[in-house]
Amino acid sequence: MAGAIISALIYGVLLKKLADRYNSYTIVLWQSIFGLMFFIPLYFSLKPDDLSHLNIDYKLILYILGLAIFSTSLAYIFFASAVRELGISKAMVFANLIPLFTAFFAFLLGLELFSTRKTIGILVVVIGVLISQYNRKLKIHRKF
């Protein structure tokens, strides 16, 4: 968990610096190229037999393209644009709400049920976001 947090912080700082100089499409293009360069060889060196049992058909290709286009490319383009417009701290607040919206829409589609544990987790996230924004508003009001 600590590694994920440190990585997210480093990514946020670098993204903020890059977003001021480059457009979102360029940033996402290069991060995708670097990701392919590093992760594809690593994957094939660690798990070379995992792909041999796959039946590659049009549905699998559509799923992979959907994940690549919507869940990765567009999401990172929108996030880079948000960092440029809102700043890294406000954009990260909204990024913390992504699991909440995912769970909510999965519930509406009948794909997810809310247990007590999930509901408490959602409340913790929402309260954390509200607290982080509440403290910021107090600091802004104290200046005036």
pLDDT tens profile 16-30: 899 889 999 999 999
pLDDT of residue 141 exceeding 90: no
Long-range CB pairs of 53-58, under 8 A, 24+ apart, other chains included: none
Three-class DSSP category at 24: helix
Residue 90 CB partners (closer than 8 Å, separation 6+): 82
pLDDT band of 132, cuts 50, 70, 90: confident
Paired tokens of 110: 């009948």
Residue 132 CB partners (closer than 8 Å, separation 6+): 93
How high does pLDDT run on average in the chain? 83
N residues, the chain: 144
Question: Tens digit of pLDDT for each residue in 38-85?
Answer: 888 887 787 767 667 777 888 888 988 888 888 888 888 988 898 888
Task: Kindly state the DSSP code that residue 56 receives in the 8-state scheme.
Answer: -
pTM here is 0.67
